[in-house]
Structure 1
Amino acid sequence: MLQSNSLKLILGTFVFFIISVLLLSVYREENTEQTENSASLERLANRFANNQIGIPFLIYHSVRPHITNETAIQDAYDITPKALDRQFEYLKNNGYHTVYPRDLVEYLNGNLRLPNKPIVISFDDGWENQYKYAFPLIQKYDFKAIFYIYSRPLDIGAKHFLTWSQIKEMLAAGMEIGDHTLTHPYLMRVTDPVVMRREILGEKLELEKRLGIQIKSFAYPFGHYNNLAISMIKSAGLTSARTTYPGVYKSGDDLYKMKGFLTVDDFNKFLRNLKS
């Protein structure tokens, strides 16, 4: 009887030992998994924190000396060559480095490092005076810029717009060319998918055929959009789209709703926008 009780005691102790070992193993495995998950989340958080940036987009249109009796248009969209030179000089002297929208996308994908104080300089619509006045200043300060083109005026030879040869010259000098639709419609009012596709994808294909490059960046005509436009831009393979809503692009912002500043002669406003 005593021997039987001893055997039971030994067996019970052994079973308790085995169960304890198994429980300890499970605890260690769960604790290790939790530690690994915490470390993974910490790495992601650190990566996001390191990617915190703010990039101003400067939006220019016509660049020309002011003309009498065009005050309203000039105040809203135009900048004189002298004012543009002053703004570029300020950027250069204060350590700003120009980048393309496609650079920003590559940076966010982990494929590119951005310089200190990055800024995007953009010109909309494809006016000939951008080539005449802005392009030489861009080269003078060794800047980069993107020119958002809508090509219908070019195809019909309209006056005051860029030519394909001028665009190719700027492209060869390192400028980026972006899609600005085919005819510059107010996209918020476009509800027909066929029309939207022709405006966005049709322009992208036209630019790519004419220039022999891939087009990755888009700017909304008049700066506004609807959900159909965003959907079509994404399906066309464009990786960013810029509005004219005022503000600075910050990490985590929607790449298809990028903000920017309409920039004209007012130097004090130019400075306020940079510091915002």
Structure 2
Amino acid sequence: MKVKWKKIKYFGFRHPKLLKMIALGAFTLAVAFILLVINALPVNLPAIQQKTSDSETIKWVDFDVPYSLLEKTMYMDIETYETENHLNWIELLAYLGAKYGGNFKNYKEKDLKALVERLNQGEPIEIIAKDLKLYNYYKEAYTAVLGGFLGEFMIQVPVDSKEQGNAINSENAETNESGTETDGNVMWQSKYGLKAFSPIAQGYWYNDFDDFGAGRSYGYNRKHFGHDLMIGIGTPIIAVESGIVEATGWNQYGGWRIGIRSFDKKRYYYYAHLRKDRPYAADLYVGKAVKAGDVIGYSGRTGYSVKENVNNIDTPHLHIGMQLIFDESLKDSPNQIWVDMYAITRLLSKNKSPVFQSEETKEYYRKYQFSEPSYYLENNPDKESKEKASAALLASAAPEGSIPLPIIMYHGIMKNNSINSKFFVSEKTFENDLKYLQENHYTPIHIKDLIHYVDQGTPLPEHPVIITFDDGYYNNYLYAYPLLKKYNMKAVISIIGNVTDKSSEINDNNAQYSYLTWDQLREMADSGLIEIQNHTYDMHENNGRGRQGSLKKQGESEEDYAQALQADVGMLQSKITEMTGQTPTAFTYPFGFVKDNSKSILLEDIGFRATLTCYERINYVTRDPDSLYRLKRILRPPGSSSEEFFRTIAPAHTLP
């Protein structure tokens, strides 16, 4: 039987209904694929793009460094600090990140060993990484994540147990043996190490797992951009890093929460699901500056409700998140950058803040005070934040029997603000500062007054202060010296020898760029108001081509370094003595660069009794001669009134 096939037009390829079905199916598949991709990403698609040039803002950071490598590189950094070849952990991690494209599943220990070997041979990291196109990206990104974790700090420790406090610190930590009373005898220790704290107080335990990016369904389907630590209700919550409180109050997702911005403005820490009824530390408020290790609140299970103060979270826990901010306009945008805190939280657990409970108020407080230098405050454009940050960092309990001593650091004084520099202030500003000191009963003193106090017990005035000028600019003589005479106030000028010699030869008295001459220095020294100190003869250079200030050069032996430092500084010592009749008793470190290998040379071989740094803290002077070593100074920048500036000192130095 012959079968005749009949063409059915309905299934023809060009049939309108079939074309419509195909188009609809293709569109549905495309939408489903896009939604699948978006759902797998923590942010909108544009946010995953790495920057393609150094001038472009970073849009996304996938911080996937495992805990073991974080720990290993951190110890490398700490153990090599103040050595000739300091291994910076962020640079090590950035190199490896660039090498692996951020995928640390490819990590091999031999790669780290090879990198360290080249660095120990004196090769700069910039040369080693020159062929890694994304090295600068990873360095900037990882600095944003880890930039506030390691550094120099001071912390109180029990006199009978120096092991308390920060468990991760350099071996050559210096100790101020003077103690004070805070729940027993304690003393201050200067350290380098992990200065960020676990968000959970010491003595409290938690359970966790890596839940970053897990799904959440309350309100809408979304990703979990944080890390949950399961703990009991009422556990004291600790500030991971020093910063400004930017947010408190109720959030329907996070319940009672706290947002704290680091002082360098790169990191925003988010603490959520705090305790019902009493979520915060008693003195916490928006705008307050807190220090790393402070108690800021208490854990709970609030949240998942539009209504305030509701416990809708099943399991008590702390949600801790870290948001990176490279562009302020993106802080509250859909393209926020959040970091997986799982490995970081484990690392921070090595440094837990001890706390105690007040019997009267039942509030918890940190047990041991903490202070850190304000390295990143100078370039903070937010004046209010800078003042609060300075106040928090400078405030610390004074050792018993010590004398609070602020040292103010100036450089140049101009008739007006014609020079745009953080190191120059106007003549009017300087005079207002002197008026403020006088009206508030400060008494400027010299370094020799400190030495007399230490050696002989000669009393210091009730509220001493030291006014210092670095480098020896001619404008110190032109503008500052007449005002010091007008108010009968003492000051210290640390000069650079070679520029003083040159200035004396050419005698070019220009207020903007000239330096003091020997004749001008002699005149000021003879007045009894000005004390001349040593700022090196010819080591005030930091151009990246040789020695950094008075530090030891790479590859330079200890013996050669000692000879070079003694020759340079000794030359200026002799010159100042010959030309002014004063013999300097203090050494001012160029650029504030300090290493311990210079201490014996400066104090024992040359005979200085004091050294001046650029660490911005209040000093606490005792009869111990070591209290005059590494004296801290507070830079006086332009742009703030005298009252605003000196308010940063008030927490540690209460005015009458």
Q: TM-score range by the shorter chain?
A: 0.7 to 0.9
5 Å matches for 1:55-204? Answer: 55-66=405-416, 70-71=419-420, 74=421, 76-157=422-503, 159=508, 160-174=514-528, 175-183=530-538, 184-185=540-541, 186-190=549-553, 191=556, 192-204=561-573
Q: CA deviation at 1:50?
A: 7.5
Asked whether 1:247 is paired with 2:617, we answer yes
Distance, in Å, in 1 between the alignment partners of 2:651 and 2:517 is 36
Asked whether 1:236 is paired with 2:618, we answer no
| 1:148 partner SS | strand
Report Cα offsets for 1:175-226 as digits up to 9, x if no partner. 1111111022412344522221122222112211222232212211111221
Distance, in Å, in 2 between the alignment partners of 1:78 and 1:270 is 17
Distance, in Å, in 2 between the alignment partners of 1:274 and 1:178 is 28
- For structure 2, which runs of at least 5 residues remain unmatched after alignment? 1-177, 180-398, 509-513, 542-548
| 1:162 partner SS | coil
Distance, in Å, in 2 between the alignment partners of 1:198 and 1:246 is 30
Kindly indicate whether the alpha-carbon contact (under 8 Å) linking 1:263 and 1:270 is maintained by their aligned counterparts in 2. no
| 2:516 partner SS | coil
Distance, in Å, in 2 between the alignment partners of 1:123 and 1:236 is 22
Change (3 A) 1:275 1:171: farther
Q: CA deviation at 1:67?
A: 5.5
**Aligned residue pair count:** 228
Kindly indicate whether the alpha-carbon contact (under 8 Å) linking 2:468 and 2:492 is maintained by their aligned counterparts in 1. yes
Change (3 A) 1:67 1:84: closer
Kindly indicate whether the alpha-carbon contact (under 8 Å) linking 1:216 and 1:238 is maintained by their aligned counterparts in 2. yes
Distance, in Å, in 1 between the alignment partners of 2:457 and 2:417 is 46
Q: CA deviation at 1:229?
A: 2.2
| 2:467 partner SS | strand
| 1:187 partner SS | coil
Taking every aligned residue pair, what percent have the same amino acid on both sides? 27
Q: CA deviation at 1:119?
A: 0.4
Distance, in Å, in 2 between the alignment partners of 1:50 and 1:273 is 19
Distance, in Å, in 2 between the alignment partners of 1:126 and 1:142 is 20
User: Structure 1 residues 51-60 or 262-271, which shifts more?
Assistant: 262-271
Distance, in Å, in 2 between the alignment partners of 1:103 and 1:50 is 21
Change (3 A) 1:194 1:145: same
| 1:130 partner SS | helix
Greater helix content:
1
| 1:259 partner SS | coil
Asked whether 1:262 is paired with 2:616, we answer no
Identify which of 222, 225, 240 aligns with 2:594.
225
2:46 aligns to what? none
Distance, in Å, in 2 between the alignment partners of 1:51 and 1:141 is 30
Report Cα offsets for 1:24-48 as digits up to 9, x if no partner. xxxxxxxxxxxxxxxxxxxx99xxx
Kindly indicate whether the alpha-carbon contact (under 8 Å) linking 1:53 and 1:251 is maintained by their aligned counterparts in 2. yes
Greater relative contact order, per chain length (Cα 8 Å cut-off, separation 6+): 1
User: Structure 1 residues 266-275 or 221-230, which shifts more?
Assistant: 266-275
Distance, in Å, in 2 between the alignment partners of 1:67 and 1:89 is 19
Distance, in Å, in 2 between the alignment partners of 1:274 and 1:216 is 29
Kindly indicate whether the alpha-carbon contact (under 8 Å) linking 2:417 and 2:425 is maintained by their aligned counterparts in 1. no
1:273 partner amino acid: I
Q: CA deviation at 1:161?
A: 0.5
Kindly indicate whether the alpha-carbon contact (under 8 Å) linking 1:102 and 1:239 is maintained by their aligned counterparts in 2. no
Distance, in Å, in 2 between the alignment partners of 1:51 and 1:106 is 17
Distance, in Å, in 2 between the alignment partners of 1:244 and 1:273 is 15
Report Cα offsets for 1:57-113 as digits up to 9, x if no partner. 001001113455x42xx2x20110000011110000110111111211211223411
Greater strand content:
2
Report Cα offsets for 1:129-161 as digits up to 9, x if no partner. 000010011111110111111110121226501
Change (3 A) 1:209 1:108: same
Kindly indicate whether the alpha-carbon contact (under 8 Å) linking 2:533 and 2:587 is maintained by their aligned counterparts in 1. yes
Distance, in Å, in 2 between the alignment partners of 1:220 and 1:264 is 19
Kindly indicate whether the alpha-carbon contact (under 8 Å) linking 2:469 and 2:493 is maintained by their aligned counterparts in 1. yes
| 1:112 partner SS | coil
Report Cα offsets for 1:225-268 as digits up to 9, x if no partner. 21232222112111001101001110356422110101123221
Distance, in Å, in 1 between the alignment partners of 2:426 and 2:628 is 30
